[in-house]
Chain A
């Protein structure tokens, strides 16, 4: 069973990833995503590489909206 709080991150490389956001950091400008509950792998997305994030309710954020 995958968690309900999973998001989809579309990267500018045209790859998409899905998982739970584990860390937002303003200093290093990026997001740490944990894609699988069966693994400890986490993927770091520099903010500049993110095309958009799709949240569990279907809301899509991109560009300026990604600043928090």
Chain B
């Protein structure tokens, strides 16, 4: 039987796509898909990663390509906003490729596994971390379940005799250092632009109620060691030296454990490693001394989720940050020559028109004073998350079941305190401060490739 497994990443609307790729901007192929491909390859399979965000091939071309490969099965990574698109694709694949098996994984199948498996054209759903589950599934399909039965694969949802069966969740991987370093050549990562994403942890220590991280990754926060991170960066730099502008650490809170961060920077200093890097952090785990050291070790930008300009709203969201302290940290970030990248949301359950305008004026202030990179989105309660399940209790009226609108760029919530138009009005005001992707280049005085 063929050992080839196709892994598909479908387009999503809120992503910067191929047409916008340049050295600094652009986007990276899905780390999740490449992680699964790497794991399958380590274990003897031949993964074929197809990034439909980049390829833009027609469905007919995709079908012909898959027919030529004759894979063991197809895995598709699915977000809420492209769920319907994914299902349409599975229908076309099933009707054109006899006997093909299809597995869905990623955020939406993890949040809504039964909704996914109940579609006629979906054979399997993989919940949460997929490495071991997709490998065991491959072994089950390859051996006709002689080696392992679907019932015995934790984290798998499948069909048997016309019934949908949801197995127990698989425990989270306890030691992330045991995972192989992602093989980015699987998606030809070099063609995407001047930065490379890496992930150094799973889960988030925060418990903000608007976020899906805990639902997706569980309450456990797990990290890779500083040695593992350093080795991956070293490998990336050796492979992409001329093309690499920066490494983007995509963790929700890279700086959550100061000891690990300091140990990581010790390695950078000890080996005089020259690399530009950017990370995401939280106000409550950052301080002036760390920022000074981060700048010296190559950090060029830090993203903070501020989310609101109202302290009362932040407290109700369990965000755990103080706005006065946030401004101090943003100021210290700027003064250490690190670009502050700040994200905000409009339409929190406890927002009012007044608090949303407080957010807008804070954005204006921070942009004008620090030339911060600003991102603004609408609060979007994704199905399966706390906000979605508790929407009535929170006083939120979710206006649409059309998943295509769950892009973060369409307001889909109203409360008694604000309407969709109220949010759009504030968003429009904020938009002039949003998306200044050239900020890093300008503030660094031109391109500074690492060599």
Q: Which residues of A contact B (CB under 8 A)?
A: 1-2, 6-8, 10-19, 35-39, 41, 54-58
Contact = CB atoms under 8 A, between A and B. Distances in A.
A11 B300 CA distance: 39
A38 to B, nearest CB: 7
A38 B136 CA distance: 19
Contact of B148 (A2, A37, A58): A58
Given A1-B1, A8-B136, A54-B147, A18 B173 contact: no
B83 to A, nearest CB: 27
Interface in B36-55: 41-45
B23 interface: no
A14 B44 CA distance: 19
28 contacts: A2-B3, A2-B45, A2-B142, A6-B139, A7-B147, A8-B135, A8-B147, A11-B178, A14-B172, A15-B179, A16-B132, A17-B43, A17-B135, A18-B135, A18-B136, A18-B139, A19-B44, A35-B42, A35-B43, A36-B42, A36-B43, A38-B44, A39-B42, A54-B148, A55-B147, A56-B143, A58-B146, A58-B148
A12 B178 CA distance: 11
Nearest to B42: A35
Contacts of B135: 8, 16-18
Chain B: interface size category:
20 to 34
B42 A1 contact: no
Contacts of A54: 147-148
Contacts of B65: none
B272 to A, nearest CB: 31
Nearest to B134: A16
B3 A35 contact: no
B171 interface: yes
A59 to B, nearest CB: 10
B115 interface: no
Contact of B175 (A13, A37, A55): A13
Q: Which interface residue of B44, B45, B147, B178 has the most chain A CB atoms within 10 A?
A: B44
Given A36-B44, A41-B42, A56 B147 contact: yes
A55 B146 CA distance: 9
A3 B146 CA distance: 13
Contacts of B147: 6-8, 54-58
Contacts of A56: 143, 146-147
Contacts of B143: 56
Given A13-B175, A14-B171, A58 B149 contact: yes
B170 interface: yes
Contact of B173 (A1, A2, A15, A41): A15
A23 to B, nearest CB: 18
A46 B136 CA distance: 21
B401 interface: no
B44 A35 contact: yes
Nearest to B41: A36
B174 interface: yes
B41 A14 contact: no
A12 B175 CA distance: 10
A28 to B, nearest CB: 19
B44 A18 contact: yes
Interface in B103-144: 131-132, 135-136, 138-139, 142-143
Contacts of B178: 11, 13, 15
B44 A8 contact: no
B160 to A, nearest CB: 16
Given A14-B171, A14-B173, A14-B174, A19 B43 contact: yes
Interface string B137-174: 01100110011110000000000000000000011111
A1 B3 contact: yes
A8 B173 contact: no
Contacts of A16: 132, 135-136
A7 B142 CA distance: 12
A13 B436 CA distance: 43
B151 to A, nearest CB: 12
Given A1-B1, A58-B146, A18 B43 contact: yes
A10 B43 CA distance: 13
